[in-house]
Structure formats: structure tokens, C-alpha cells
Structure 1
Amino acid sequence: MKPDIHPDYLPVVFRDRAGGLAFLTRSTMTSETTIKWEDGNTYPVVDVEISSASHPFYTGTQRVLDTAGRVERFERRYGRRDR
């Protein structure tokens, strides 16, 4: 790799605002706000709107759409097209 062209890859805490989950990982993202982590060190914190702790797919609250009902309603409204 070429020297001095890549961004710094440092530890960062990502915090989910909706679910309350926070996890420490490495990233090139930076932030002016910091947080004292469980290990006693201070890390920059990046607030995210949604993560696996609050996303409906991962929490099991995702709704399934009734696609068969939509097709039937469309055919009733506009008629079935013969091929």
C-alpha cells in the first residue's frame, strides 16, 4: 500500500439511539464526542439511528405483506388479462 494516503483506522464506539446498544469496533469514522468505555479508555462515539438492536428484521417485529391479496384486488379492479 502507498504510505500516507489511507485514513486512520482507529477504535470507535457506535451507539444506537433507538435500541440503546453500543459496541466498540475499528473504523475510519471520527467524531468530536467521546465516551468512556467499559475498559476505562475514552473513545470517539458515533450515534446511529438504527442497528441490529432496533431494526425490525433483526428484532422479529417485521410485518409480512400480503402480496396474494394485492394481486387478487388488482385483478378484481382491472380484470384478468387473457393470454
Structure 2
Amino acid sequence: MNASDVTLAERGQIVIPKEMRDELGLKPGARLQICVVDGRLLIEKKVALDLSRWVGKAVDDGLTTNEALAELRGRPVPWQGGDVKA
């Protein structure tokens, strides 16, 4: 995506253009990290992956590998059959 011009509001706020929010999957409440690098303002999407539910538990849950991956990814598994037990 190309660069966009934005205006700094009185309280120091900026609006991230909708196309950029959509491209990055940013929703209200999304966590971002901001820093200055070589005189540039860098804003990055902060991704937190909490694996505590999975550490040592996938086998105990009785989930198949495909089911576990689907849950971790937060979306349905697009393939069927040939499932291997974790």
C-alpha cells in the first residue's frame, strides 16, 4: 500500500486510513507499538500469542491435529480427512 498523508490532531492523535486498517486487520482496541527509528515514526501491529492453553494440554483435550490448529488459528480448517491424532 502507498503512503498516505494524515493530520495530527490537537491532542496528538492521528487516524490510520481505513484501507490500511483493513490491510492489517486492525480493529478497535487493537494494540500497536510505536517508536522512533532513525528520525521516523514507526507503528507496528502488536501480536500476542498466548499458548498457555496449549502447553502440555493438546493431547489431554482429545483434539485432532486439525482441530487444534483450527482453534489456534481462530478459523475453520479448510481440509478434511486424513486427520492424525496429536
TM score, norm. by length of structure 2 = 0.23
Which has the bigger relative contact order, CA under 8 A and spacing at least 6? Answer: 1
